[in-house]
Protein backbone atom coordinates (compact mmCIF):
# COMPACT_ATOMS: atom_id res chain seq x y z
CA UNK A 1 0.00 0.00 0.00
CA UNK A 2 1.11 3.54 -0.75
CA UNK A 3 0.91 5.62 2.47
CA UNK A 4 1.59 8.97 0.73
CA UNK A 5 -0.50 9.62 -2.36
CA UNK A 6 -0.65 12.44 -4.87
CA UNK A 7 -3.87 13.18 -6.71
CA UNK A 8 -4.02 14.20 -10.37
CA UNK A 9 -7.19 15.83 -11.64
CA UNK A 10 -7.87 15.57 -15.39
CA UNK A 11 -10.23 18.48 -15.66
CA UNK A 12 -11.86 18.32 -19.08
CA UNK A 13 -10.37 16.05 -21.75
CA UNK A 14 -11.14 16.22 -25.48
CA UNK A 15 -14.21 14.00 -25.80
CA UNK A 16 -17.42 15.75 -26.85
CA UNK A 17 -19.36 13.57 -24.38
CA UNK A 18 -17.84 15.52 -21.49
CA UNK A 19 -19.66 18.63 -22.70
CA UNK A 20 -23.01 17.15 -21.65
CA UNK A 21 -22.02 17.77 -18.03
CA UNK A 22 -23.06 21.19 -16.69
CA UNK A 23 -19.66 21.28 -14.98
CA UNK A 24 -17.64 20.83 -18.20
CA UNK A 25 -15.23 23.76 -18.58
CA UNK A 26 -15.03 25.19 -22.11
CA UNK A 27 -13.29 28.55 -22.10
CA UNK A 28 -9.74 29.08 -20.83
CA UNK A 29 -11.13 31.05 -17.88
CA UNK A 30 -13.47 28.17 -16.96
CA UNK A 31 -10.75 25.54 -17.38
CA UNK A 32 -8.36 27.53 -15.17
CA UNK A 33 -11.06 28.03 -12.54
CA UNK A 34 -11.98 24.35 -12.34
CA UNK A 35 -8.28 23.45 -12.15
CA UNK A 36 -7.79 25.89 -9.27
CA UNK A 37 -10.83 24.49 -7.46
CA UNK A 38 -9.45 20.95 -7.91
CA UNK A 39 -6.12 22.07 -6.45
CA UNK A 40 -7.84 23.68 -3.50
CA UNK A 41 -9.68 20.39 -2.89
CA UNK A 42 -6.37 18.51 -2.74
CA UNK A 43 -5.09 17.79 -6.26
CA UNK A 44 -1.32 18.18 -6.54
CA UNK A 45 -1.39 17.94 -10.36
CA UNK A 46 -3.92 19.22 -12.89
CA UNK A 47 -3.97 17.59 -16.32
CA UNK A 48 -5.21 20.00 -18.95
CA UNK A 49 -6.74 19.87 -22.42
CA UNK A 50 -8.18 23.02 -23.99
CA UNK A 51 -11.26 23.58 -26.09
CA UNK A 52 -12.37 26.08 -28.70
CA UNK A 53 -14.33 28.67 -26.66
CA UNK A 54 -16.85 29.08 -29.49
CA UNK A 55 -17.63 25.46 -30.34
CA UNK A 56 -16.55 23.50 -27.26
CA UNK A 57 -14.59 21.03 -29.42
CA UNK A 58 -10.97 20.16 -28.66
CA UNK A 59 -8.28 22.63 -29.62
CA UNK A 60 -4.51 22.57 -30.05
CA UNK A 61 -4.09 26.36 -29.99
CA UNK A 62 -1.17 27.60 -27.89
CA UNK A 63 -3.05 30.80 -27.04
CA UNK A 64 -5.70 28.85 -25.15
CA UNK A 65 -3.09 26.86 -23.21
CA UNK A 66 -1.21 30.08 -22.47
CA UNK A 67 -4.30 31.72 -21.02
CA UNK A 68 -5.16 28.70 -18.86
CA UNK A 69 -1.65 28.42 -17.41
CA UNK A 70 -1.41 32.21 -16.95
CA UNK A 71 -4.65 32.28 -14.98
CA UNK A 72 -3.56 29.37 -12.78
CA UNK A 73 -0.13 30.85 -12.08
CA UNK A 74 -1.44 34.34 -11.40
CA UNK A 75 -4.08 33.02 -9.01
CA UNK A 76 -1.29 32.16 -6.57
CA UNK A 77 -2.55 28.56 -6.32
CA UNK A 78 0.27 26.06 -5.88
CA UNK A 79 -0.37 23.21 -8.30
CA UNK A 80 1.70 21.23 -10.82
CA UNK A 81 0.57 21.87 -14.41
CA UNK A 82 0.44 18.90 -16.78
CA UNK A 83 -0.44 19.67 -20.40
CA UNK A 84 -1.67 17.03 -22.81
CA UNK A 85 0.28 16.34 -25.99
CA UNK A 86 -2.15 13.66 -27.09
CA UNK A 87 -4.05 15.68 -29.66
CA UNK A 88 -2.95 15.20 -33.25
CA UNK A 89 -2.72 11.42 -33.20
CA UNK A 90 -6.11 10.31 -34.51
CA UNK A 91 -6.63 8.72 -37.91
CA UNK A 92 -10.09 7.69 -39.09
CA UNK A 93 -9.84 4.88 -41.62
CA UNK A 94 -12.11 4.87 -44.65
CA UNK A 95 -14.00 1.83 -45.82
CA UNK A 96 -12.02 1.76 -49.08
CA UNK A 97 -8.44 1.76 -47.87
CA UNK A 98 -6.26 4.57 -49.15
CA UNK A 99 -9.04 5.79 -51.46
CA UNK A 100 -10.86 7.46 -48.57
CA UNK A 101 -8.23 7.45 -45.82
CA UNK A 102 -7.73 9.58 -43.83
CA UNK A 103 -11.45 10.06 -43.40
CA UNK A 104 -13.17 13.05 -41.72
CA UNK A 105 -12.32 13.27 -38.04
CA UNK A 106 -8.60 12.65 -38.55
CA UNK A 107 -6.21 15.13 -36.95
CA UNK A 108 -2.91 13.31 -37.46
CA UNK A 109 0.19 15.54 -37.28
CA UNK A 110 3.88 15.20 -36.46
CA UNK A 111 5.16 14.69 -32.93
CA UNK A 112 6.60 18.21 -32.92
CA UNK A 113 3.20 19.64 -33.89
CA UNK A 114 1.52 17.63 -31.10
CA UNK A 115 3.93 19.32 -28.68
CA UNK A 116 3.89 22.76 -30.32
CA UNK A 117 2.09 24.46 -27.43
CA UNK A 118 4.57 23.05 -24.89
CA UNK A 119 7.52 24.06 -27.06
CA UNK A 120 6.20 27.59 -27.51
CA UNK A 121 5.33 28.11 -23.84
CA UNK A 122 8.75 26.84 -22.75
CA UNK A 123 10.54 29.10 -25.21
CA UNK A 124 8.47 32.08 -24.06
CA UNK A 125 9.41 31.20 -20.49
CA UNK A 126 6.55 32.80 -18.54
CA UNK A 127 3.95 30.04 -18.43
CA UNK A 128 5.86 26.82 -19.01
CA UNK A 129 4.23 23.58 -17.85
CA UNK A 130 5.83 21.20 -15.37
CA UNK A 131 4.72 17.99 -17.12
CA UNK A 132 3.65 17.04 -20.66
CA UNK A 133 2.07 13.75 -21.71
CA UNK A 134 3.31 11.17 -24.17
CA UNK A 135 0.71 8.56 -25.22
CA UNK A 136 2.95 5.51 -25.40
CA UNK A 137 1.54 3.45 -28.24
CA UNK A 138 -1.10 3.00 -30.92
CA UNK A 139 -4.62 1.88 -30.10
CA UNK A 140 -7.94 1.06 -31.74
CA UNK A 141 -9.96 3.86 -30.18
CA UNK A 142 -13.59 2.84 -29.82
CA UNK A 143 -15.83 0.62 -31.93
CA UNK A 144 -15.60 2.24 -35.36
CA UNK A 145 -12.67 3.10 -37.63
CA UNK A 146 -10.75 5.53 -35.44
CA UNK A 147 -7.25 4.71 -34.29
CA UNK A 148 -4.73 6.64 -32.22
CA UNK A 149 -1.25 6.40 -33.73
CA UNK A 150 1.90 6.92 -31.68
CA UNK A 151 4.84 5.08 -33.19
CA UNK A 152 8.17 4.21 -31.54
CA UNK A 153 10.09 6.89 -33.42
CA UNK A 154 7.43 9.53 -32.69
CA UNK A 155 7.74 8.67 -29.00
CA UNK A 156 11.51 8.77 -29.09
CA UNK A 157 11.30 12.23 -30.60
CA UNK A 158 8.75 13.31 -27.98
CA UNK A 159 11.01 12.13 -25.15
CA UNK A 160 13.95 14.07 -26.62
CA UNK A 161 11.85 17.23 -27.01
CA UNK A 162 10.62 17.01 -23.41
CA UNK A 163 14.17 16.50 -22.10
CA UNK A 164 15.51 19.43 -24.13
CA UNK A 165 12.72 21.65 -22.77
CA UNK A 166 13.24 20.54 -19.16
CA UNK A 167 9.65 19.25 -18.93
CA UNK A 168 8.84 15.93 -17.26
CA UNK A 169 7.06 13.50 -19.60
CA UNK A 170 4.08 11.67 -18.16
CA UNK A 171 4.01 8.35 -19.98
CA UNK A 172 0.40 7.40 -20.61
CA UNK A 173 0.13 3.62 -20.89
CA UNK A 174 -3.06 2.17 -22.34
CA UNK A 175 -2.00 -1.46 -22.74
CA UNK A 176 0.79 -3.88 -21.93
CA UNK A 177 2.69 -3.24 -25.16
CA UNK A 178 2.79 0.47 -24.33
CA UNK A 179 4.56 -0.37 -21.09
CA UNK A 180 6.97 -2.63 -22.96
CA UNK A 181 8.01 0.37 -25.07
CA UNK A 182 8.36 2.64 -22.02
CA UNK A 183 10.91 0.15 -20.73
CA UNK A 184 12.65 0.26 -24.11
CA UNK A 185 12.93 4.05 -23.89
CA UNK A 186 14.37 3.68 -20.38
CA UNK A 187 16.89 1.18 -21.78
CA UNK A 188 17.84 3.64 -24.52
CA UNK A 189 18.44 6.39 -21.96
CA UNK A 190 15.66 8.65 -23.25
CA UNK A 191 13.91 9.11 -19.90
CA UNK A 192 15.27 10.65 -16.72
CA UNK A 193 14.53 8.97 -13.40
CA UNK A 194 12.06 8.70 -11.94
CA UNK A 195 9.90 7.77 -14.90
CA UNK A 196 6.35 9.07 -14.37
CA UNK A 197 3.84 6.50 -15.62
CA UNK A 198 0.06 6.81 -15.85
CA UNK A 199 -1.73 3.47 -16.29
CA UNK A 200 -4.96 4.19 -18.18
CA UNK A 201 -7.57 1.44 -17.73
CA UNK A 202 -10.92 0.61 -19.26
CA UNK A 203 -10.58 2.66 -22.45
CA UNK A 204 -11.82 0.65 -25.45
CA UNK A 205 -9.76 -1.19 -26.64
CA UNK A 206 -6.82 -0.96 -24.29
CA UNK A 207 -6.27 -2.69 -20.98
CA UNK A 208 -9.57 -3.62 -19.28
CA UNK A 209 -10.34 -2.13 -15.89
CA UNK A 210 -9.85 -5.26 -13.82
CA UNK A 211 -7.45 -6.03 -11.03
CA UNK A 212 -5.62 -8.78 -12.89
CA UNK A 213 -4.53 -6.51 -15.73
CA UNK A 214 -3.47 -3.75 -13.33
CA UNK A 215 -1.44 -6.17 -11.20
CA UNK A 216 0.28 -7.51 -14.32
CA UNK A 217 1.30 -4.02 -15.41
CA UNK A 218 2.40 -2.95 -11.94
CA UNK A 219 4.58 -6.05 -11.77
CA UNK A 220 6.17 -5.01 -15.09
CA UNK A 221 6.96 -1.38 -14.20
CA UNK A 222 10.54 -0.25 -14.77
CA UNK A 223 12.74 0.26 -11.74
CA UNK A 224 12.81 3.76 -10.24
CA UNK A 225 9.39 4.74 -11.56
CA UNK A 226 6.54 6.64 -9.95
CA UNK A 227 3.16 5.50 -11.13
CA UNK A 228 -0.47 6.43 -11.00
CA UNK A 229 -3.54 4.85 -12.51
CA UNK A 230 -7.16 5.53 -13.26
CA UNK A 231 -10.20 3.79 -14.68
CA UNK A 232 -13.05 5.45 -16.48
CA UNK A 233 -16.73 5.93 -15.68
CA UNK A 234 -18.17 4.09 -12.66
CA UNK A 235 -14.82 2.42 -11.95
CA UNK A 236 -13.11 5.75 -11.20
CA UNK A 237 -13.54 5.70 -7.43
CA UNK A 238 -13.00 1.95 -6.91
CA UNK A 239 -9.76 2.49 -8.82
CA UNK A 240 -8.62 5.08 -6.29
CA UNK A 241 -8.56 2.36 -3.63
CA UNK A 242 -7.15 -0.23 -6.03
CA UNK A 243 -4.23 2.00 -7.04
CA UNK A 244 -3.30 2.82 -3.46
CA UNK A 245 -3.41 -0.84 -2.39
CA UNK A 246 -0.92 -1.72 -5.13
CA UNK A 247 1.41 1.14 -4.22
CA UNK A 248 0.35 3.79 -6.73
CA UNK A 249 -1.11 7.26 -6.93
CA UNK A 250 -4.50 8.29 -8.28
CA UNK A 251 -6.19 10.29 -11.00
CA UNK A 252 -9.77 11.50 -11.04
CA UNK A 253 -11.63 14.22 -12.95
CA UNK A 254 -14.26 14.89 -15.58
CA UNK A 255 -12.06 13.68 -18.42
CA UNK A 256 -12.63 10.14 -17.15
CA UNK A 257 -15.97 10.23 -15.30
CA UNK A 258 -18.86 12.71 -15.15
CA UNK A 259 -20.72 11.48 -12.07
CA UNK A 260 -20.45 11.78 -8.31
CA UNK A 261 -23.07 9.07 -7.93
CA UNK A 262 -25.65 7.52 -10.26
CA UNK A 263 -27.31 10.33 -12.21
CA UNK A 264 -25.60 13.10 -10.20
CA UNK A 265 -23.14 15.21 -12.17
CA UNK A 266 -19.88 15.99 -10.36
CA UNK A 267 -17.53 18.93 -10.41
CA UNK A 268 -13.80 18.31 -10.52
CA UNK A 269 -13.43 19.57 -6.96
CA UNK A 270 -16.09 17.12 -5.76
CA UNK A 271 -14.32 14.22 -7.44
CA UNK A 272 -11.01 15.22 -5.86
CA UNK A 273 -12.67 15.54 -2.46
CA UNK A 274 -14.28 12.11 -2.81
CA UNK A 275 -10.91 10.60 -3.76
CA UNK A 276 -9.32 12.37 -0.80
CA UNK A 277 -11.94 10.89 1.53
CA UNK A 278 -11.14 7.38 0.25
CA UNK A 279 -7.38 7.95 0.57
CA UNK A 280 -7.60 9.24 4.11
CA UNK A 281 -10.10 6.56 5.15
CA UNK A 282 -7.51 3.99 4.06
CA UNK A 283 -4.98 5.52 6.43
CA UNK A 284 -2.90 7.27 3.77
CA UNK A 285 -2.34 10.99 3.38
CA UNK A 286 -2.32 13.19 0.30
CA UNK A 287 0.89 14.84 -0.83
CA UNK A 288 1.08 18.57 -1.38
CA UNK A 289 2.25 19.98 -4.72
CA UNK A 290 5.63 20.80 -3.13
CA UNK A 291 6.04 17.22 -1.85
CA UNK A 292 4.97 15.86 -5.23
CA UNK A 293 7.55 18.03 -7.00
CA UNK A 294 10.22 16.54 -4.78
CA UNK A 295 9.02 13.00 -5.42
CA UNK A 296 9.04 13.53 -9.18
CA UNK A 297 12.28 15.56 -9.13
CA UNK A 298 10.71 18.27 -11.22
CA UNK A 299 13.03 21.02 -12.39
Note the pLDDT tens digit of each residue in 69-106: 999 999 999 999 999 999 999 999 999 999 999 999 99
Q: How confident is the model at residue 115 (pLDDT cuts 50, 70, 90)?
A: very high
Q: How confident is the model at residue 270 (pLDDT cuts 50, 70, 90)?
A: very high
CA distances to 55, 88, 213, 259 from 141, rounded to whole Å, are: 23, 14, 19, 22
Phi and psi at residue 232, to the nearest 5°: -90, 165
- Is residue 40 packed enough to be buried (19+ CB in 10 Å), middle (13-18) or exposed (0-12)? middle
Whether the predicted pLDDT of 13 surpasses 90: no
Instruction: Report pLDDT for 17.
Output: 79
Whether the predicted pLDDT of 18 surpasses 90: no
d(CA 73, CA 127): 8
Instruction: Report pLDDT for 235.
Output: 95
Going by C-alpha positions, the residue among 40, 114, 22, 30 that lies closest to residue 77 is 40
With beta carbons less than 8 A apart as the criterion, state whether 25 and 33 touch.
Answer: yes
Instruction: Report pLDDT for 299.
Output: 79
With beta carbons less than 8 A apart as the criterion, state whether 173 and 227 touch.
Answer: no
Instruction: Report pLDDT for 96.
Output: 95
Q: Which residue has the higher pLDDT, 19 or 189?
A: 189
d(CA 74, CA 69): 8
Whether the predicted pLDDT of 141 surpasses 90: no
Average pLDDT over residues 6-24: 89
Q: Is this prediction's pTM over 0.85?
A: yes
Q: How confident is the model at residue 19 (pLDDT cuts 50, 70, 90)?
A: confident
Whether the predicted pLDDT of 20 surpasses 90: no
CATH of 4-296, one of 3.20.20.70, 3.40.640.10, 3.40.50.1100, 3.50.50.60: 3.20.20.70
Q: Which residues in 83-112 are b (16+ Cβ under 10 Å) and which e? A: bbbbbbbbbbbeeeeeeeeeeeebbeeebe
Instruction: Report pLDDT for 202.
Output: 95
Average pLDDT over residues 218-247: 96
Q: How confident is the model at residue 15 (pLDDT cuts 50, 70, 90)?
A: confident
How much of the chain exceeds pLDDT 70, in percent?
100
DSSP strand pairing (50-51 vs 58-59): antiparallel
d(CA 105, CA 144): 12
Amino acid sequence: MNPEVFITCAVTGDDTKVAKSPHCAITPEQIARTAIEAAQAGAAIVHIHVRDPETGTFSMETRHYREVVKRIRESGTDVIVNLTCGMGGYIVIGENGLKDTPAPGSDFVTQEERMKHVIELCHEGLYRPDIATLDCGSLNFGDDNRAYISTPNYLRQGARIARDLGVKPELEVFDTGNLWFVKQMVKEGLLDAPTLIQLCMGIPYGAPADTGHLVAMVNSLPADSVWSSFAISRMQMPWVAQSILLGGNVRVGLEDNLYLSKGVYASNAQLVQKARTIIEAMGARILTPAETRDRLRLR
